[in-house]
């Protein structure tokens, strides 16, 4: 099992956890650790340390953070550097959290991270590109009908 710690600036991690709960229901081993204005990296590291104490030692741990290189990322990196059962993904969103929740019992951590890299490229979509494709298909159909 992979335990998941969602972290980021402000209420972002709390909102992601609540939103995923609307879709998946309450999930065990899914913890939101917010980083609030006025807190420093040491405060966040203490929050992470407390959270990690409640995670079974046999579980792998995946940190999901909002910004690569931000304080939540840097605070988690110090734990990951010391423990091979931990890793992190940055730049997360709700589709990534949902994907993690659906696969974390069936994959090892490194396998899941490789999957997420591919999935995130596919989930990022630009509306105008899709509209252009629809327009092109419609025009081709009209030409075929003539």
Please write down the long-range contacts of 30-34, taking CB distance under 8 Å and 24 or more positions apart.
30/3, 30/4, 30/6, 30/101, 31/3, 31/4, 31/5, 31/6, 32/6, 32/7, 33/5, 33/6, 33/7, 33/72, 34/7, 34/8, 34/9, 34/10
In the set 9, 29, 49, 106, the catalytic residue is 9
Question: 9 catalytic, yes or no?
Answer: yes
Task: Point out the residues that are catalytic.
Answer: 9
């Amino acid at each position: 099992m992979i335990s998941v710690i969602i972290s980021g600036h402000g209420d972002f991690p709390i909102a992601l956890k609540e939103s995923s709960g609307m879709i998946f229901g309450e999930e065990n081993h899914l913890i939101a650790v917010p980083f609030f204005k006025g807190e420093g990296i040491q405060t966040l590291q203490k929050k992470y340390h407390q959270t990690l104490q409640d995670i079974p030692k046999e579980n792998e741990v995946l940190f999901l953070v909002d910004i690569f290189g931000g304080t939540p990322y840097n605070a988690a990196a110090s734990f990951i550097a010391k423990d091979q059962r931990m890793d992190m993904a940055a730049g997360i969103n709700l589709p990534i959290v949902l994907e993690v929740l659906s696969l974390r019992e069936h994959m090892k951590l490194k396998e899941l991270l490789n999957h997420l890299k591919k999935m995130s490229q596919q989930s990022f979509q630009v509306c105008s590109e899709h509209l252009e494709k629809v327009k092109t298909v419609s025009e081709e159909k009209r030409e075929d009908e003539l």
